[in-house]
Amino acid sequence: MKVPVYLVGAGPGDPDLLTVKAARLLAIADVVVHDNLVDPAVLALIPDRAELIDVGKRPGRPTPQDVINALLVHLGSAGDGRTIVRLKGGDPFVFGRGGEEARALVAAGIAVEIVPGISSAIAAPAAAGVPVTHRGLSAAFTVVTGHREQGRQPVDWEALAKVGGTIVVLMGVAQRGEIARRLIAGGLAADTPVCAIERGTCDAQRVVRTVLGSLEQTAVVSPATIVIGAVAAHDVLSAVVAPSTSELSTSL
């Protein structure tokens, strides 16, 4: 029986939020191909005997996706029985290009197993006490990338402003000013609450609260999850700023 290549979600950062299956695979891994955004505390769970290959995309030192695909195919086709783990921050299929990597492996005749992870799109707001949906405040949420490669179809922020509910932006720190301007142009009020969660769920987590019109001038450090909408004004873990009973009286 062929050993598959495992595409594993590393979760939002806190190693305690790994799935049981992800933790088990890391414990027996022989090779781990990992992203830059995987928290060091998660990498520390990997045994010393395992080979770690960093393919993280960094400013000025990108790793082309086709190079990563070729590396995974090379490792997976060796047929030496080693356990190969492709470790990706959050969930492999949420802006992680896991689908591209799975396709490349399958096309090469290599078995693949997907191990979903907890996405920071939900986990980071939750760690800050911000529910992405909440009775009386938001009946839906949209997860969108703030970064698009040159030549790719841009996000229609003006249209997104009209959808309603909560907007969760991943990889949007550098473009936050443009995002805010276009959402306001699409009809969102400049005083729409915004909450940015830096390094959500990690020991270094930092929560920044502002409004849409001030987002560009507000210092936010990447990686951060940006939450836009009524829920962003609240912290359900704090009685001081939690919404009142009357605010919550409307059913979804």
**What residue has token string 């800050």?**
128
57 a catalytic residue: yes
Residues composing the chain:
252
Are 212 and 177 in contact by the 8 Å Cβ rule? The answer is: no
Q: What is the DSSP string of the chain?
A: -PPPEEEEE-BSS-GGGS-HHHHHHHHH-SEEEE-TTS-HHHHTTS-TTSEEEE---BTTB---HHHHHHHHHHHHTS-S---EEEEESB-TTSSS-HHHHHHHHHHTT--EEEE----HHHHHHHHTT--SSBTTTBS-EEEEES---TTSPPP-HHHHTTT-SEEEEES-STTHHHHHHHHHHTT--TT-EEEEEETTTSTT-EEEEEEGGGTTTS---SSEEEEESGGGG--TT-TTTSPPTGGG-S--
- Annotated catalytic residue within 14, 35, 91, 235: 35
CB neighbours of residue 219 within 10 Å: 8
Structure token pair of residue 188? 């969102």
35 a catalytic residue: yes
- Annotated catalytic residue within 39, 88, 91, 171: 171
1 a catalytic residue: no
First to last CA, the chain: 49
Task: Just list the catalytic residues.
Answer: 35, 57, 171
